């Protein structure tokens, strides 16, 4: 026979689990039996206690009737057997829901006064009056049934009139089933429980539930020795219940309380139902343990060996950490990962350093190109300024001679019209050269009150011909009346940047013919200028970077990325705000606003 220690680990764990299941199931069975016994004991105490409390409640009802009878007996209308006593009996009947009727009868059984109930009772008042006068105390009749089918019990009291004796009898007709306070305990009992009120002969006075079928019936109970100790027995409906009894001395009646014994069985089954999933979890856990432990020892070594081979082959990714069978294996796996992680971190730092050096080198080269371009632009600006000054002199001569020639009276009309055209175009050329020279001037000068209308007019003169050649309409909407405190050359540079950007956006997108609108307006204490185009607008991903230095959306060689950033600096230095938004037509709207100059 093979020794147990020589068996595979999984088989050993399976045998151990099977050996553990036997005491676990035995313990579960013992707990269920103990729960059943404890529940039976609880039902015994509950039936006996409920029966006593219900009997006490019925006894309180009878005691209340005794007190009511004593109070009514002392009233003169009752003692004199006056019909006016009906006014007393009616309210008394309404105070007790269990009262069917309340009557005052004389010694011959005739009704003198009534509580006014329409219910009809059995006409046996003479015998009841004689019995009450004979005993001189309370008399309780057996259960009786009225012609209407109403089951009731009569409780009669003699009327005490002092020296005159008892001239009559007060009779209370009670429906035992309406003793709501007495049967309120049934609401606290388990489902299927019952509370019944019996006479000594076994007749049912009241029962909850099934009162319609059982009230008035005689049930074969051993009531001669009541109250009996709690004991289980079968009910009339075939349900086995634990019964407890208590006496109502004022009846004399017997209260019986029954609780189904299935409650104890259900609780035991419920305990077993709760224990079985736990046992299933335990069993599943042990099976899982057997499966995992048996595989982890062999898989741990294989996992670490494969990781070492992978690292030796040049794959430095982290080891897939798995639960190890022992602490030593877990420490070895952690050491492998720490070694690989540190190696990867060092390599990543070297890569990042090389990438940063490469980026800085490219940025330096880009800045060098930008500086060279700016120097060229500055040189071109100086050249333009000089050329404009040189061209302005012959233009002034042409303008002067054209005016002198127009002063001659003997010239033909065709010649005069040509001279007017020469004068007009020469004046326009002078204005363009003047604006160009002002724009190219390196020293901006001091700020002075300016009209934004004059600024946009000067920019329009510079770009009008170029825009017309590209089928772009330039529209001016000047509605601003206030002045701003600024340097005209700086504002010209800002507006010109806006116009050039709008022109390039329309041309590059191929949306020709197009339109550029320059508009100004006053808004409170500020003056706003907007440049709107019919181009494609700006992508949402680029809006946040529009005014950053060296950022441009134009093709290579067509933009430096400095125009809008320089414009931002100019407007910000003047205390204004600059921005962008989408136009309603889909194009772009670049705008700035400046504080209005004080008077």
Is residue 309 domain-resident? no
In the chain, the largest separation of any two C-alpha atoms, in whole Å, equals 166
Contact 255, 56 (CB under 8 A): no
Is residue 111 domain-resident? yes
| CA nearest to 395, candidates 438, 437, 426, 433 | 426
Q: Cα dist. 51→197, 233, 248, 307 in Å?
A: 10, 16, 10, 78
Residues shown for the chain: 599
Q: What is this structure's pTM?
A: 0.42
* Mean residue pLDDT across the chain: 75
Is residue 356 domain-resident? no
In angstroms, the CA 221 to CA 201 distance is 9
Among residues 245, 263, 285, the one where a domain terminates is 285
* Residues 178, 179, 181, 182, CA torsion sign: negative
Kindly write down the DSSP assignment for every residue of 506-527, as one continuous string: HHHHT--SEEEEEEEEEETTEE
Q: Number of folded domains in the chain?
A: 2
pLDDT, tens digit (0-9, with 9 covering 90-100), for 454-489: 888 888 887 888 888 888 888 888 888 899 988 887
Is residue 385 domain-resident? no
pLDDT, tens digit (0-9, with 9 covering 90-100), for 23-43: 777 777 777 777 777 777 777
Is residue 420 domain-resident? no
Among residues 264, 285, 306, the one where a domain terminates is 285
Among residues 244, 266, 285, the one where a domain terminates is 285
Q: Which domain holds residue 64?
A: 10-285
**Phi/psi at 199 (nearest 5 deg)?**
-85, 170
Is residue 408 domain-resident? no
pLDDT, tens digit (0-9, with 9 covering 90-100), for 520-564: 999 888 999 999 998 888 877 777 677 766 666 665 545 555 667
Residue 90: is it exposed, middle or buried by C-beta count within 10 angstroms (0-12/13-18/19+)? middle
pLDDT, tens digit (0-9, with 9 covering 90-100), for 326-345: 777 777 778 878 888 887 88
**Eight-class DSSP state of 184:** G
In angstroms, the CA 242 to CA 223 distance is 16
Cβ atoms within 10 Å of 362's Cβ, excluding its own = 10
The DSSP bridge pattern shows strands 472-478 and 514-523 to be: parallel
Is residue 272 domain-resident? yes
**Which segment of 5-19, 25-39, 72-86, 169-183 scores lowest on mean pLDDT?**
5-19
Which CATH number fits the domain that encloses residue 61? 3.30.450.20
pLDDT, tens digit (0-9, with 9 covering 90-100), for 246-288: 887 766 778 878 888 777 777 777 766 666 676 677 666 666 6
Is residue 549 domain-resident? yes
Three-state secondary structure call for residue 174: strand
Quick check: 442 pLDDT over 50? no
Give percent above pLDDT 90 in the chain: 2
Q: Cα dist. 176→13, 87, 172, 315 in Å?
A: 69, 25, 12, 93
């Amino acid at each position: 026979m093979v020794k147990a220690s020589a068996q595979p680990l999984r088989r050993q764990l399976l045998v151990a689990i099977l050996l553990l299941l036997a005491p676990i199931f035995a313990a579960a069975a013992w707990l269920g039996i103990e729960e059943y016994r404890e529940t039976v004991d609880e039902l015994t105490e509950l039936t006996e206690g409920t029966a006593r409390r219900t009997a006490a409640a019925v006894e309180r009802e009878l005691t209340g009737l005794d007190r009511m009878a004593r109070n009514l007996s002392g009233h003169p209308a009752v003692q004199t057997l006056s019909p006016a006593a009906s006014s007393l009996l009616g309210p008394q009947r309404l105070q007790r829901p269990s009262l069917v009727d309340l009557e005052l009868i004389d010694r011959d059984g005739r009704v003198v006064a009534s509580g006014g109930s329409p219910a009809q009772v059995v006409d046996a008042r003479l015998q009841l009056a004689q019995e009450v006068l004979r005993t001189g105390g309370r008399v309780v009749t057996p259960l009786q049934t009225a012609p209407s089918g109403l089951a009731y019990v009569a409780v009669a009291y003699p009327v005490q009139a002092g020296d005159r004796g008892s001239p009559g009898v007060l009779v209370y007709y009670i429906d035992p089933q309406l003793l709501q306070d007495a049967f309120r305990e049934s609401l606290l009992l388990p489902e299927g429980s019952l509370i019944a009120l019996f006479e000594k002969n076994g007749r049912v006075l009241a029962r909850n539930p099934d009162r319609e079928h059982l009230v008035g019936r005689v049930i074969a109970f051993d009531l001669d020795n009541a109250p009996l100790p709690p004991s289980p027995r079968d009910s009339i409906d075939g349900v086995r219940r634990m019964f407890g009894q208590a006496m109502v001395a004022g009846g004399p009646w017997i209260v019986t309380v029954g609780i189904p014994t299935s409650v104890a069985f259900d609780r035991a089954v419920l305990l077993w139902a709760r224990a079985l999933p736990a046992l299933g979890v335990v069993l599943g856990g042990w099976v899982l343990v057997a499966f995992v432990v048996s595989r982890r020892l062999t898989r741990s070594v294989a996992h670490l060996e494969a990781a070492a081979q992978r690292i030796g082959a040049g794959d430095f990714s982290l080891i897939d950490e798995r639960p190890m069978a022992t602490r030593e294996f877990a420490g070895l796996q952690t050491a492998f990962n720490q070694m690989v992680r540190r190696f990867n971190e060092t390599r990543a730092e070297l890569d990042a350093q090389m990438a940063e050096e490469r980026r800085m080198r490219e940025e330096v080269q880009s800045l060098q190109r930008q500086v060279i371009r700016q120097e060229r632009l500055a040189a071109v600006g100086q050249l333009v300024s000089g050329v404009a000054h040189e061209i302005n002199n012959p233009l002034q001569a042409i303008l002067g001679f054209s005016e002198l020639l127009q002063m001659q009276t003997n010239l033909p009309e065709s010649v005069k019209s040509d001279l007017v055209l020469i004068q007009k175009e020469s004046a326009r050329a002078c204005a363009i050269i003047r604006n160009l020279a002002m724009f190219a001037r390196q020293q901006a000068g001091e700020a002075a009150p300016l009209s934004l209308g004059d600024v946009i007019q000067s920019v329009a003169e510079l770009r009008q011909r170029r825009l017309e050649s590209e089928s772009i309409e330039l529209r001016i909407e000047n509605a601003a009346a206030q002045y701003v405190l600024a340097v005209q050359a700086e504002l010209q540079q800002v507006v010109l940047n806006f116009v050039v950007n709008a022109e390039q956006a329309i041309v590059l997108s191929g949306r020709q013919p197009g339109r550029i609108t320059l508009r100004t307006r006053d808004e409170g204490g500020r003056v706003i200028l907007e440049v709107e185009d019919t181009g494609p607008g700006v992508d949402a991903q680029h809006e946040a970077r529009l005014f950053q230095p060296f950022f441009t959306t134009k093709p290579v060689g067509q933009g430096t990325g400095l125009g809008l950033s320089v414009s931002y600096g100019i407007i910000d230095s003047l205390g204004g705000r600059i921005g962008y938004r989408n136009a309603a037509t889909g194009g772009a709207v670049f705008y700035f606003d400046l504080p209005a100059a004080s008077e």
